Structure 1
Amino acid sequence: MYIPKAFEVNEKRKLVNFIKDNSFGILFTQNENGPFATHLPFLIDESKYDNGVLMSHMAKANPHWKDLGDKEVLVVFSGPHAYISPSWYGEFNTVPTWNYVAVHVYGEFKVIDDKEEAKKIIEDTVNFYESSLPNPWLVNFEDKFINELMNGLVTFEIKINKVEGKWKLSQNHSIQRQQNLVNGLLSSNKYNSLEIAKLIEENIRLDAHSKE
């Protein structure tokens, strides 16, 4: 991913939290037939290996998982994004752009053959998404219906080799311009303009604090 220095984020905790908050990612690979992508929910375990691991599952009928053993893959996690109008700057010589937040994870793909380990990945995934609900649903592997569904799934992990974070929030502009953009975004209410406005405001506060 192309990341100008002003937009680069390397803080591990910030990247991990972003993945957890935006955990529905896209798995990208390349084979002799061309590029292939699958949209999937991912869990991240920071404690495994040197850089952590991503875990997920897909339908066994999906051919994407085949012949990927130990190959490097890319998973893209996208956050809020919004169109930036040059009219919001209040100055000449400005152009439209798009502000956004994204994290790219590169790692080695490995199918999980162990049934108990596969069950744990499914159980942890269900618990992760159900935990905030008033009446969390629990997976029951004793249930015949659930067992039959498990036979149609492939669980896998991705050993993380590299994580890239890009927070493109107009940090390369003056504080006044950034504040002008916040005002414009708050009046827009399109795409994720309110979320992007909040992130720019956070950067403005951090910049002010660093100069105190």
Structure 2
Amino acid sequence: MRHTPHFLLADVAEVKRLIRKNPWATLVSHTAAGNVASHYPVMLEDGPADEISIVSHVGRPDEVAHGLGSGEVLVIIQGPHGYVSPSWYPDGDLVPTWNHVTAHLWGTPEILSPEENYAVLEALVDQFEQRVPRPRSLRMDEELTRRIARGTVGLRLRVARFDARAKLSQNKPADVVARITDELEADGPYANAALAGEMRRLHGG
């Protein structure tokens, strides 16, 4: 990620919040065959406040393609992001930008046992289903869902290090920040309520 110290996101609690709110992740491995990328949902595990551990699964044969367990992988978490038009800046400012909240997480995955994997799949489904009116659960037909689960491989990633950025116009004066946030919340072509929410959370207001 570009070296931008003034946008650095170093607070572990904030990175955990980013993962919780944006669980669709990109998994990248460097293998003998080249770089391999896949996309899967991840879930945070409970643990010490200063540590990040995530669990997920891949569909077979992605575990082979990635060589999971044999080396370090990169997991990319992409939060809200969007275009910022220079028309939202004072007259004479002509250069646009792209605001975003992003985290890169590195670690060596641990392959889960079939029982652990099923527990993770069950918890993952429950996490998303709790928001719908009539939630469903893998427990409703455990024989069927355990059979389907055999087509997946579970993993745990204890994050060894991370590099995260919250680029939210911190380099702009307060009145410009307010204008950008208002435009993101309006009904224009680059409206982005989620990104505006991140800006208000950071800057206040």
TM-score (norm: length of structure 2): 0.88
- Offset of residue 167 of structure 1: 0.9
- Offset of residue 142 of structure 1: 6.2
Contact 1:38 1:64 in 2 (8 A): no
Say if 2:31 is the partner of 1:31.
yes
Amino acid across the alignment from 2:109: F
- Offset of residue 49 of structure 1: 11
Contact 2:63 2:153 in 1 (8 A): no
Residue by residue, what CA displacement relative to the aligned partner does 1:105-143 show, whole Å, maximum 9, x if unpaired? 11111211x232222111111111112222221213864
- Offset of residue 48 of structure 1: 7.0
- Offset of residue 188 of structure 1: 5.1
Residue by residue, what CA displacement relative to the aligned partner does 1:4-53 show, whole Å, maximum 9, x if unpaired? 12211112222111101100101011112211111100011141797232
Residue by residue, what CA displacement relative to the aligned partner does 1:61-111 show, whole Å, maximum 9, x if unpaired? 335555331411111111111111111102324401111111111111121
Indicate the residue corresponding to 2:130 in structure 1.
Answer: 131
Say if 2:56 is the partner of 1:52.
no
Unaligned stretches of 5+ in structure 2? none
Moved more, 191-200 or 86-95: 191-200
Give the 3-state SS of the residue equivalent to 1:9 in structure 2. coil
Give the 3-state SS of the residue equivalent to 1:99 in structure 2. strand
Contact 2:22 2:79 in 1 (8 A): yes
> Distance in 2 between the 1:49 and 1:110 partners?
21
Amino acid across the alignment from 2:40: L
**Structure 1 residues 147 and 23 mapped into 2: Cα distance closer, same or farther (>3 Å)?**
same
Contact 1:22 1:79 in 2 (8 A): yes
Determine what percentage of the aligned residue pairs are the same residue.
25
Say if 2:90 is the partner of 1:95.
no
**Structure 1 residues 50 and 204 mapped into 2: Cα distance closer, same or farther (>3 Å)?**
closer
Give the 3-state SS of the residue equivalent to 1:136 in structure 2. coil
**Structure 1 residues 145 and 122 mapped into 2: Cα distance closer, same or farther (>3 Å)?**
same
**Structure 1 residues 96 and 66 mapped into 2: Cα distance closer, same or farther (>3 Å)?**
closer
> Distance in 1 between the 2:158 and 2:22 partners?
19
Moved more, 21-30 or 70-79: 70-79
Contact 1:105 1:163 in 2 (8 A): yes
**Structure 1 residues 98 and 58 mapped into 2: Cα distance closer, same or farther (>3 Å)?**
same
Contact 2:12 2:51 in 1 (8 A): no
Unaligned stretches of 5+ in structure 1? 207-212
TM-score (norm: length of structure 1): 0.85
**Structure 1 residues 64 and 167 mapped into 2: Cα distance closer, same or farther (>3 Å)?**
farther
Aligned alpha-carbon RMSD (Å): 2.4
